[in-house]
């Protein structure tokens, strides 16, 4: 969430920056400033009314003590009117504050200056590519066919139990899935991330804290009876660990990793591009989250990008990195790098990770602050990244490592799997 003071002081530059998102933010920012001015005006009037009421209350006490009951009672009538007026102003203030908050929730984060302009994923900027694309035999299969051939993932059984987008992993498929989770967590722990096991459901405050609400409300599974949401990513509960906290500068950096299943409705997603593991309603993901001093957050972002690159190098999967354009940038992000692995059998790139810096956008919603060297409270910076999302990594392994004799397992995963081939 943008800070009101920043909007007040930099309205025109924010409008210009948000044009990268193809948004005309002028009406929204004007509405915010209008509501903020109204809030401040009501607050000033309310403070003056309460001060006068308090002053009169003291005078009434003195009058009663000196035996001037008639004068005291006359003032009591005046204070009663002031109390009624202050109650009305208090209600108006609460309504205005709520309207202001809801308006602020509608405004996305300001893109970093390095974010390219653009309308969609077609305008994202490729900044890095690495790895050799394997040459497959003429009979090479996409992962959904390989899953059926080797009986390692059953999509139809998932439909029977739940519905489309909920696959069942079987035998070596389940063991490979577990191996990837353990490998990712170990790599993250080696890099200094503390492993956390967090709830798979969050309350509304947590959803608003990291920006999934109200922006992605329709994409989340909502348990109405308890007013809880199934998490779309571990980013939500892990970042909310510090909601409302006041940190010390010496606490930074704070680095967490966590494995969770993730749940996304993905409404309206159909077609061959979402077949098999390409898009699911339930999937596993290992996340990394960092809380940083603002001076260090972009260095931290670079470190997170290098960390994911090293994992993909060890898996020996061909991948590329994209800098997302304004039109494809997530609502809460200031700068995002997407990692994509090349699926040789599908002849297309599959997104497997997003690494983002949110700057103060989430921290302002979370009321996540630290005390600087002068003892003043400042907003922290938050970052997160997939390290990694399993379905498309698994799809890339199955497709790129397939041979006529079976599917080879990446060497780094063999100790975790206990086997080197799926046949």
CB atoms within 10 A of CB 203: 14
Q: DSSP 3-state assignment of 285?
A: strand
**206 annotated to a ligand binding site:** no
Does a cis peptide bond (omega within 30 degrees of 0) precede residue 119?
no
Rounded alpha-carbon distances, angstroms, from residue 250 to 54, 122, 188, 294: 43, 42, 22, 13
**290 annotated to a ligand binding site:** no
CB atoms within 10 A of CB 212: 22
Count Cα atoms within 13 angstroms, Cβ side, for 259: 15
**266 annotated to a ligand binding site:** yes
The closest of 253, 261, 241 to 193, measured between CA atoms, is 253
**7 annotated to a ligand binding site:** no
Which long-range contacts (C-beta less than 8 Å, at least 24 apart) are formed by 57-61? none
Q: Where are the beta strands (DSSP E) in 264-318?
A: 282-292
**354 annotated to a ligand binding site:** yes
> 378-395: buried (b, 16+ CB within 10 Å) or exposed (e) per residue?
bbbbbbbbbbbbbbbbbb
**265 annotated to a ligand binding site:** yes
Q: What is the DSSP string of 324-392?
A: PPGGGS-TT-SEEEEEEEEETTTTEEEEEEEEEEEETHHHHHHT-EEE-TTS-EEE-EEEEEEEEEHHH
**351 annotated to a ligand binding site:** yes
**287 annotated to a ligand binding site:** yes
**352 annotated to a ligand binding site:** yes
Beta bridge partners of 131: none
**40 annotated to a ligand binding site:** no
Residues contributing to the annotated binding site for ATP? 264-266, 351-354
Residues contributing to the annotated binding site? 233, 264-266, 287, 351-354, 384
Residues contributing to the annotated binding site for L-serine? 233, 264, 287, 384
């Amino acid at each position: 969430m943008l800070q009101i003071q920043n909007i007040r002081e930099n309205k025109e530059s924010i409008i210009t920056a948000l044009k990268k998102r193809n948004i005309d933010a002028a009406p929204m920012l004007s509405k915010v400033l209008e509501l903020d001015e109204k809030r401040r005006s009501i607050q000033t009037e309310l403070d003056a009314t309460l001060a006068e009421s308090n002053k009169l209350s003291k005078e009434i006490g003195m009058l009663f003590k000196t035996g001037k009951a008639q004068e005291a009672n006359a003032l009591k009538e005046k204070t009663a009117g002031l109390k009624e007026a202050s109650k009305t102003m208090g209600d108006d203030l609460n309504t205005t504050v709520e309207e202001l908050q809801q308006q602020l929730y509608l405004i996305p984060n300001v893109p970093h200056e390095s974010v390219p302009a653009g309308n969609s994923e077609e305008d994202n900027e490729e900044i890095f590519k690495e790895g050799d694309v394997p040459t497959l035999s003429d009979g090479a299969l996409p992962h959904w066919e390989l899953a059926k051939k080797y009986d390692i993932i059953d999509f139809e059984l998932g439909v029977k139990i739940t519905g489309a987008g909920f696959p069942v992993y079987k035998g070596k498929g389940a063991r490979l899935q577990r191996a990837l989770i353990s490998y990712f967590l170990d790599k993250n722990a080696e890099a200094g991330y503390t492993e956390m096991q967090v709830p798979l459901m969050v309350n509304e405050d947590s959803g608003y804290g990291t920006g999934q609400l109200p922006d992605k409300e329709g994409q989340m599974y909502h348990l109405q009876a308890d007013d809880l949401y199934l998490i779309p990513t571990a980013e939500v509960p892990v970042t909310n660990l510090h909601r409302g906290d006041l940190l010390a500068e010496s606490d930074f950096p704070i680095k967490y990793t966590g494995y969770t299943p993730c749940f996304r409705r993905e409404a309206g997603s159909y077609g061959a591009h979402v077949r098999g593991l390409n898009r699911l309603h339930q999937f596993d993901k290992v996340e990394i989250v960092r809380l940083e001093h603002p001076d260090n957050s972009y260095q931290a972002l670079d470190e997170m990008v290098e960390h994911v690159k090293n994992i993909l190098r060890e898996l020996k999967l061909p991948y590329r990195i994209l800098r997302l354009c304004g039109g494809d940038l997530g609502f809460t992000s200031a700068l995002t790098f997407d990692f994509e692995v090349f699926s040789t059998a599908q002849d297309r790139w599959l997104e497997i990770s997003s690494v983002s810096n949110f700057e103060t956008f989430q921290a302002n919603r979370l009321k996540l602050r630290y005390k600087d060297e002068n003892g003043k409270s400042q907003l922290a910076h938050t970052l997160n990244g997939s390290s990694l999302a399993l379905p498309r990594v698994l799809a890339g392994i199955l497709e790129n490592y397939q041979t006529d004799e079976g599917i080879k397992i990446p060497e780094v995963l063999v100790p975790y799997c206990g086997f080197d081939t799926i046949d």
